[in-house]
Amino acid sequence: MEKQPIDLLISNGAIITMNAAGDVFENAAVAIQGNSILEIGPTTQLETKYHPAQVLDAADHIVMPGMVDTHFHTGQQFERAILQRLSKEMKLREPVWQNYLITFEANLSDDDIYLSALFAYANLLKVGTTTFADAGGPRPECMAPALEKTGVRGILARSTLDLQQGIPLEMQDTPAGVAEKGRSLFKEWNGKAGGRIRVWMGMRQIMICSRELLETIRDLAAELKTNIHIHLAEGTYEVDFAIEKSGLRPAEYLASLGFLAPNVHAAHSVLLSEKELDLYQRYDVSVAHCPAAAFRYCGPTKVPEMLKRGLRVGIGSDGPLASGGSLDLFRQIHLSLYVLSTAYGLPYRNPAPILEEDLLRMATLGGARALSWGDEIGSLEPGKKADLILLTRNDLDVLPSYDPLFTAASNASGAQVRTVVVDGKIVLKDGVLTNVDEEELKAKVKEAAPKIVRRFLERVQ
């Protein structure tokens, strides 16, 4: 029988599929045609059946779906560790996101944003993240070309706000301006880069968005049939604001405006009451659980309760500023396992309120579902897009690797990511980026960083 020609065969790997049955196969192969997975099966069987144009030998590797970062800030890539340094020189003004984060973003030129995006997306791929959702940044039209170039998959949105309160003027807009820019960004970039780019609406924080703006964003997202990325229940100041303004808690306030719906993706979602969790469940609001940001600045997110209620929950890094520096989602799931066990397990003599495997699923398929993209990505199954990563099992830090699921969920980190495929294309091979010259990128980053920081410090000191 003549062999069927295909584009790529990944052979001899331990495959974590994240399919509904939770299948894990040893000595297995993935056949890829174009940007999609054609078949998964024993290596010998697929080698007999297919004639691949290219082969990746995954012996001694785990093959698993790429990580999905459900809450990211492209515009903060150069902000890594700045505030930690600044806080040693001066007392930071609260709230930090308003006084520093938005000011930092406001200060970036178009070229800075493009470089920030190139830097961020190359960084994501190197630690095994194949899809990200930007929370809404400055001029996403400057980020899109970097997304296209690096080969990553992602969701872009514009940062939107219209209430003053000490916010830099460059970042402010009007409801009419937000509608016009949102529509044109959507028209220009949604579905581009072979479908790797999606465009959403963004809503920064309820404190800096007027009721009229919230209604505009809600209506525009409905008109364009797209989603809205918001920050919600992230800080005590926000709960105080909502109660003072409306007598309602943040999610109740948004529900009262008809804002909550299955197309709303709420990052953080930490300080939620039972009634607000009911609202999330009723309206099928999805959640980006951002472990480092929550555990350092806010509190333990009610993840076990959310899963029990069937909410769509993914993991978010919240960018390099709030993540503790690294964009590596493996680190975030480890952090989450220990803090959630401490908060919801140990005090109740319940040793396992959540398992590492649940968190790995959350960081892949869970994230894809939270981003309304679960029909195409998040698991390795025939018909789905070929977005996958190869982790080495041949490192001293993971040997002996008896159980691929344990290695991937509990032991490995982005440091074990060797090869990354997005949309059927190899974007990282044996640790080397294929679309970006990493040395050249690092030189540009080192050259630009002091200039960006100097301009930022002139404004905030």
Q: Which two tokens stand for residue 381?
A: 């199954």
**Which 27-66 residues touch Zn ion, going by CB under 5 A?**
none
The region of 200-208, 294-302, 312-320, 384-392 touching Zn ion under the rule CB under 5 A is: 312-320
Query: How many separate helices (H) and strands (E) can be counted in the chain?
Result: 19, 18
DSSP string, 13-78: EEEE---TT--EEEEEEEEEETTEEEEEEEHHHHHHHEEEEEEEE-TTEEEEEPEEEEEE-GGGGG
Q: Is 421 one of the binding residues for Zn ion (CB under 5 A)? A: no
Strand-pair partners of 267: 231, 288
User: Cα–Cα distance between 400 and 394 in angstroms, integer?
Assistant: 8
- Least distance in Å: CB of 14 to Zn ion? 34
C-beta of 153 vs 268, nearer to Zn ion: 268
C-beta of 205 vs 216, nearer to Zn ion: 205
Of these, 135, 362, 377, 409, which contacts Zn ion (CB under 5 A)? 135
- Least distance in Å: CB of 318 to Zn ion? 5
The region of 78-86, 112-120, 314-322, 431-439 touching Zn ion under the rule CB under 5 A is: 314-322
3-state secondary structure of 134: strand
Q: Give the number of residues in contact with Zn ion, rule: CB under 5 A.
A: 2
C-beta of 200 vs 344, nearer to Zn ion: 200
C-beta of 35 vs 74, nearer to Zn ion: 74
**Which 315-334 residues touch Zn ion, going by CB under 5 A?**
318
Say which DSSP state 310 is in.
T
**Which 388-417 residues touch Zn ion, going by CB under 5 A?**
none
The region of 116-124, 128-136, 408-416, 446-454 touching Zn ion under the rule CB under 5 A is: 128-136
The region of 61-69, 127-135, 394-402, 448-456 touching Zn ion under the rule CB under 5 A is: 127-135
C-beta of 161 vs 391, nearer to Zn ion: 161
C-beta of 135 vs 313, nearer to Zn ion: 135
- Least distance in Å: CB of 267 to Zn ion? 5
| Residue 99 Ramachandran class (φ > 0 left, ψ -120 to 50 alpha, else beta) | alpha
The region of 310-318, 356-364, 427-435, 440-448 touching Zn ion under the rule CB under 5 A is: 310-318
User: Cα–Cα distance between 214 and 254 in angstroms, integer?
Assistant: 8
- Least distance in Å: CB of 153 to Zn ion? 20
The region of 117-125, 135-143, 172-180, 295-303 touching Zn ion under the rule CB under 5 A is: 135-143
C-beta of 298 vs 307, nearer to Zn ion: 298
Residue 170: closest CA among 105, 243, 95: 105
- Least distance in Å: CB of 312 to Zn ion? 18
Q: Are 78 and 119 in contact (CB under 8 A)?
A: yes
User: Cα–Cα distance between 126 and 202 in angstroms, integer?
Assistant: 27
Give the HSE-up count for residue 64: Cα atoms under 13 Å, Cβ half-sphere: 32
| DSSP run (H or E) holding 417 | strand 417-422
C-beta of 125 vs 135, nearer to Zn ion: 135
- Least distance in Å: CB of 104 to Zn ion? 13
Residue 457: closest CA among 95, 135, 87: 87
Q: Are 133 and 69 in contact (CB under 8 A)?
A: yes
User: Cα–Cα distance between 331 and 416 in angstroms, integer?
Assistant: 12
The footprint of Zn ion (CB under 5 A) covers 135, 318
